[in-house]
Chain A
Amino acid sequence: MSPILFELLLRSIWETVLMTGASGIISLVFGLPLGLALVATDRGGIAESLWLNRILGAIINGFRSVPFIILLVALIPVTRLIVGTSIGTWAAIVPLSIAATPYYARIAEVSLREVDHGLIEAARAMGGNRWTIIREVLVPEALPGIVAGFTVTLVTLVGASAMAGAIGAGGLGDLAIRYGYQRFETSVMVAVVIVLIVLVCGIQWIGDRLVARLDHR
């Protein structure tokens, strides 16, 4: 592999890490509260509100049912509004985050829903308010699942970011298509695949270790 290609590879790794990391953090920041809202507003939840629950559910389902490649293009006006441009790595973070947030909200919802109702009742019996229940019971008890779900989301984002090349975002997927596939640079293709495997395994390993440390069940 020529030094130029190697430099391109390094840049692409950075772009992929940036896109995955930034949109991952954004999906965590918005997805977790959204997951909490889904559980809290559901029947028997701590802030039961069925109509709100249905509206939230419908919005999330709506975003999740649009294929990412279409979301990428459809969101161009929004991206331009937020980032100022619709081309490049930062521009890709907007659709990636918007796709990952509802995805992560659903994963967080599943973990939060699994928290034993008896624990919520115990917190209520102690005189705890909703905020106490969220902070002391729901989130800490669901934390292993919340972290495991975040790991899954990050791995999914690594894959999704490969498509972001379509709007000039760069990244490993873009490199593999333009050099490895279109210019028959097999070495680039192999290198990209190896880097992706290492990246995904690394994310999964860190996530698993963290879950093992957090899980006291």
Chain B
Amino acid sequence: MNQHVTAEIGDPVVIDPTRSQDVVRLVDLKRRFGATAALDGVSLNVKKGEILGIIGRSGAGKSTLIRCLNGLERPDSGEVFIEGSEIGRLGERELQPLRRRIGMVFQHFNLLSAKTVEENVALPLKIEGRPRAERMTRAAELLQLVGLSEKAKAYPASLSGGQKQRVGIARALAARPALLLSDEATSALDPETTRSILALLKDINSRLGLTILLITHEMEVIRSIADRVAVIDAGRIVEEGAVWQVFANPKSEITRSLLGGIRPQLPPEIASRLAKGEGAETILRIDVAGEAARGPLFSELSANVPGPFRLVHGGIDHVQQQPVGTLFVAVPGADAAHLAAVIAFLKDRGARVEVLGHVADPV
């Protein structure tokens, strides 16, 4: 304990080998707009090759955060390290070569209407001053990667939303960036197109080993492709971890509320009848994940704790190949010892159990 404190205060030059793997490192980033703090002390690392998802409600500071990474927004204080070098003190001109190492995908695509699809994709290379032949070869290569080769000569106005975003992604990859920033890239798209765009991003991540930092307000996006998630609220990171762990055991209220839409919830007709005290049945909420969810939990429960119980609602999701389940179970309420035994057994098997209340009549 004492040693830990000494290391923290006494020696600021700690060389941590894991840190060299970080493409992005943010240290205590702060940014105010008038009276509101868009960023209120954000520290975050993005490891090479991972997909980090940052989720928050609108106005939580996500956009400000992602814009600090390529200097489109300047923090009031704190440090931004990109591939180990601090960019906060760089001027606009010095930022320009750095931005070429960072690709960015936008919610509203931001394609130039006066340029053809291939010219749009080739634009980052034109900015770099590459010769035309090289630009066109690279654009053709990327359009093939995103499956839009036949649209090379078309203008963006003739494309669908999903196609526009594919062009946006191809353009972001043109200069072979070390990091891809995705600013709500799927928020303007329908669910099916969203899935195909997310699959493309995942494919790019695994095929090219590209590090991706994405911001979103949809947990579905995080579930589909992120390795790690950071939850931001009122300019602070309130929770951070592997996606399946955060799904299995959300610690903050905001995370629970963001998960609300895609995780099982107690049906309202049961929730409205819940009461304190005695009732015909007790409703339990059981959260299981990982190893605990892989075993034959319920058959073991019946074998070890004889007596009735009923599954009312719930399901098991698979997040990052890990089972994450939330189950609502009704246990007859007359026998307090039986109920206690059920809870004890489930807890013993690694599940989290919460007594939600009682219902007078069986539901």
Contacts and interface: CB of A to CB of B under 8 A. Distances in A.
B155 A116 contact: no
A140 B96 CA distance: 22
Interface stretch (B23-31, B122-130, B261-269): B122-130
A132 B99 CA distance: 14
Contacts of B96: 127-129
Chain B interface size band reads 20 to 34
Contacts of A34: none
B99 A127 contact: yes
Given A127-B97, A129-B96, A122 B113 contact: no
Interface string B94-123: 011111101010101010111100000001
Interface in A171-217: 214, 216-217
Interface in B58-113: 70, 72, 93, 95-100, 102, 104, 106, 108, 110, 112-113
Nearest to A216: B155
The majority secondary structure among interface residues of chain A is helix
Contacts of A132: 127
B109 to A, nearest CB: 8
Interface residues of A, number: 21
B157 interface: yes
A129 B112 contact: no
A217 B110 contact: no
Nearest to B71: A124
Contacts of B100: 126-127
B183 to A, nearest CB: 9
A118 to B, nearest CB: 4
A214 B98 CA distance: 34
Contact of B128 (A121, A127, A136, A141): A127
Interface of A: 116, 118-119, 121-129, 132, 136-137, 140-141, 143, 214, 216-217
Which 5 pairs of residues, A with B, have the shortest CB-CB distance?
A122-B110, A127-B99, A127-B100, A140-B114, A216-B155
